[in-house]
Amino acid sequence: MQAKYESLAGWLEHIERMHPRGEAGIVLGLDRVAIVAAELKQAHRLAGKPIVTVGGTNGKGSVVTYLSNILDRAGYKVGTYTSPHLVHFNERIRLNGIPSEDARIMAAFDHVEAARAATGESLTYFEFTTLAAVEVFLDAEVDVLILEVGLGGRLDAVNLYDPDVAVITSVALDHQDYLGDTREAIALEKIGIARAGQPIVVAEPELPVPALKELASRGAIVYLVGEAFGFEPLPGEEGKPSIQWRYWLRKPGTPVEAMQRRGGLAYPGLRGRIQLRNAAAAMTVIEALQDRLPVAMGAVRRGLLESELAGRFQVIPGPPDLVLDVAHNPEAARVLATNLGQLAFAHTQHGVLGMMADKDMAGVLQPLVKLITRWYLTPVDSVRSATPEQLQATLCELGVKPAQIECFQNPALAYAAARKNAAESDRIVAFGSFLTVADVLRDLGRTA
């Protein structure tokens, strides 16, 4: 008998129960999800709708946000699928940037469950919700779908859908248990979202050679940062920082004389130097889709400037100022450290930290130990969570003195202690996991 639930929470509990590891259950592969999608006749119903898939280690959420905003400002109906969520599940499935309402998601869950029951297949949490997101978008009759890859690329459920343009934002060591323990192996998994004869925008400036060769052998049209597209800050007025930047594009196979330039662009709404690279990648996707989804430069400028994304170097003014960042791998932590260095001076920086034990804790913390003076360590709500004692041991190995460290039972208590100790001229930095940031946002009474 098909499951029926009267609330979104009931449905989510049901979907979690399908897998022995609940929401955290990961079983890579496309066979199961393809069978259920065929039962739903999704391929036929998606015909003619442009699809963009966005993969990479870091920066996916930023690129997805830019794309969604630009296309929204251009007047299109945009379906956006991301994961994980911060506060509410609905954040994962957005229509023109707005989280879908419970009733729409529950109707999609009902469709997927009926198809799953008819086929007898078992789906993971991510597979089920990916199918449901596409059902929501089909029901809403969107003009374009933007789908964020959950893990890797080649065997991720999102890769069931053939993209008109694919994006690789970055390649770094993360999820090695599933993707391999070298950048070369991980890159090969991530480029699995490429399709023959279709554009793939590669914003990773150091994509390993085996991945480049594989893209060539597949016949993908490769837009590589630094070769096919790029960006540069424009000089500011004398004695003042730059406030504008320039984008350039030279489509693969065209001469240098055919290069296009877009100057005088305001810095994007998301903070940090890395955001110029992410914004340039999004603009390249827009250029690659111009024949099917024409977008004027005015929409591009507005979409970039008006972008916001909770938990990605999100600065909440104080006093004391609060920085929220979901950085949980070494590359993201290095970017966070760089971004903190570009903020106004803070007398003392207080770090609220909770992260997963299966992450590279030393690699994440090393770039930040000289920037953060006082540490507030906490577990997060996951069976994979590192204990405060594990985090403390790692910090001490990196040279942090025990007197600089306090341990707490949850992120809310850790954040409360940081607020109590922080002076007006200080800064609090909460990071290490989506769950750490989510708990602090809840404590603030904010939604993502």
Structural domains of the chain sorted by starting position, each given as residue range(s) with its CATH number in brackets: 8-305 (3.40.1190.10), 314-443 (3.90.190.20)
Share of the chain above pLDDT 70, in %: 94
Mean pLDDT of 429-437: 95
178 has a pLDDT exceeding 60: no
Q: Kindly report the backbone phi and psi dihedral angles of residue 342, in degrees, each rounded to the nearest multiple of 5, phi listed first.
A: -95, -5
pLDDT classification of 22: cutoffs 50, 70, 90: very low
**Total number of residues shown for the chain:** 448
Per-residue pLDDT tens over the stretch 283-310 = 999 999 999 999 999 999 999 999 998 8
Mean pLDDT of 171-178: 67
Q: How far is CA 357 from the centre of its chain?
A: 21
pLDDT classification of 3: cutoffs 50, 70, 90: low
CA 367, 369, 373, 379 dihedral sign is positive
Q: 51 and 162 in contact (C-beta within 8 Å)?
A: yes
132 has a pLDDT exceeding 60: yes
Mean pLDDT of 22-39: 80
440 has a pLDDT exceeding 70: yes
Per-residue pLDDT tens over the stretch 41-91 = 999 999 999 999 999 988 999 999 999 999 999 999 999 999 999 999 999
Distance CA 240, CA 366 (A): 32
pLDDT classification of 243: cutoffs 50, 70, 90: confident
More confident residue, 151 or 142: 142
Q: Kindly report the backbone phi and psi dihedral angles of residue 53, in degrees, each rounded to the nearest multiple of 5, phi listed first.
A: -110, 135
273 has a pLDDT exceeding 90: no
20 has a pLDDT exceeding 60: no
* CA distance to 73, 252, 267, 270, 273, per residue, from 245 (Å): 21, 23, 7, 14, 11
DSSP state of 168: E
434 has a pLDDT exceeding 60: yes
Distance CA 129, CA 12 (A): 9
CA 305, 309, 312, 316 dihedral sign is positive
Per-residue pLDDT tens over the stretch 356-370 = 999 999 999 999 999
Q: Tokens 């460290």 label which residue?
A: 405
Distance CA 249, CA 235 (A): 20
- The mean pLDDT of the chain is 92
Q: What is the reported pLDDT for 366? A: 96
Share of the chain above pLDDT 90, in %: 78
Tell me which range, 3-17, 26-40, 290-304, is most confidently predicted by mean pLDDT: 290-304
Q: Kindly report the backbone phi and psi dihedral angles of residue 263, in degrees, each rounded to the nearest multiple of 5, phi listed first.
A: -105, 175
Fill in the amino acid letter for 338.
T
Residues with Cβ within 8 Å of 403's Cβ and at least 6 positions away in sequence, in order, are none
